[in-house]
Amino acid sequence: MPHLYAIAIGSNRPHGAHGRPAGVVQAAIAELDCRFSLFEASPLLLNPASGGAGRDFANAVAILESPLEPPAMLAALKAVERAFGRRPCRRWGPRVLDLDILAWDGGRWSDRQLTIPHAALETRAFMLLPLSHIAPFWRLRGALTARQLAARLGKRRARP
């Protein structure tokens, strides 16, 4: 039985074939569509890097359909990252492509390598805003939807 996955897509390094990070994200969406069934993709979001990542990021979120269970989906996404030239680097460092599972239609999942929903989803606008744009009613925490969590994040950021 196929599952729906919300996948965060990010890049802050250029790629020889795909150009600047925005081109990398667009090429990654096309690649995900080839490997899985692309249900929807958000508009591109350009935002400043956080942590020690250096350059600014291009981000998007895609909704994919796949029969894979979460550990196999994670492995498949890591294979796509490697195909785009991602190599092991320091945590939060610059990367040509970063793919993260934000949520799936199976609810919560947790093991040593993967937590779904993504542990930082509620605090990262570059993940939550694109997700709320394409899947506003996706329930992420109990009855709270992507749209409601995005609104809460906006309120927290607006406080002095």
In the prediction, which pLDDT does 91 show? 57
Q: Average pLDDT for residues 43-60, to the nearest whole number?
A: 78
In the prediction, which pLDDT does 57 show? 87
pLDDT band at 94 (very low <50, low <70, confident <90, very high): low
The residue from 33, 35, 56, 86 that is catalytic is 86
Q: What is the pLDDT of residues 107-145, one digit of tens each?
A: 889 998 899 988 888 888 888 999 999 999 999 888 899
Q: What is the mean pLDDT of the chain?
A: 87
DSSP calls for 43-79: PPEEE---TT--S-EEEEEEEEEES--HHHHHHHHHH
In whole angstroms, what is the distance from residue 23 CA to residue 79 CA?
19
Q: Is 158's pLDDT higher than 70?
A: no
Q: Is 56 a catalytic residue?
A: no
Structure tokens at 58: 């291009």
pTM of the full structure: 0.88
The residue from 95, 105, 141, 152 that is catalytic is 95
Closest CA to 28 of 121, 41, 124: 41
Q: Average pLDDT for residues 66-81, to the nearest whole number?
A: 96
pLDDT band at 53 (very low <50, low <70, confident <90, very high): low
pLDDT band at 85 (very low <50, low <70, confident <90, very high): confident
Q: Is 91 a catalytic residue?
A: no
Q: Is 98 a catalytic residue?
A: yes
The proportion of the chain whose per-residue pLDDT surpasses 90, expressed as a percent, equals 57
Q: Tell me the residue type at 51.
A: G
Q: What is the pLDDT of residues 39-48, one digit of tens each?
A: 899 999 988 7
Residue 19 per-residue DSSP state: B
Contact assessment for residue 80 and residue 35, using Cβ atoms and an 8 Å cutoff: yes
Q: Tell me the residue type at 38.
A: L
Q: Average pLDDT for residues 100-106, to the nearest whole number?
A: 93
Q: Is 33 a catalytic residue?
A: no
In whole angstroms, what is the distance from residue 158 CA to residue 160 CA?
6
The residue from 13, 90, 100, 157 that is catalytic is 100
- Own/partner contacts of 17-22, CB < 8 Å, gap of 24 or more, are 18/84, 20/58, 21/55, 21/56, 21/57, 21/58, 22/46, 22/58
Contact assessment for residue 108 and residue 123, using Cβ atoms and an 8 Å cutoff: no
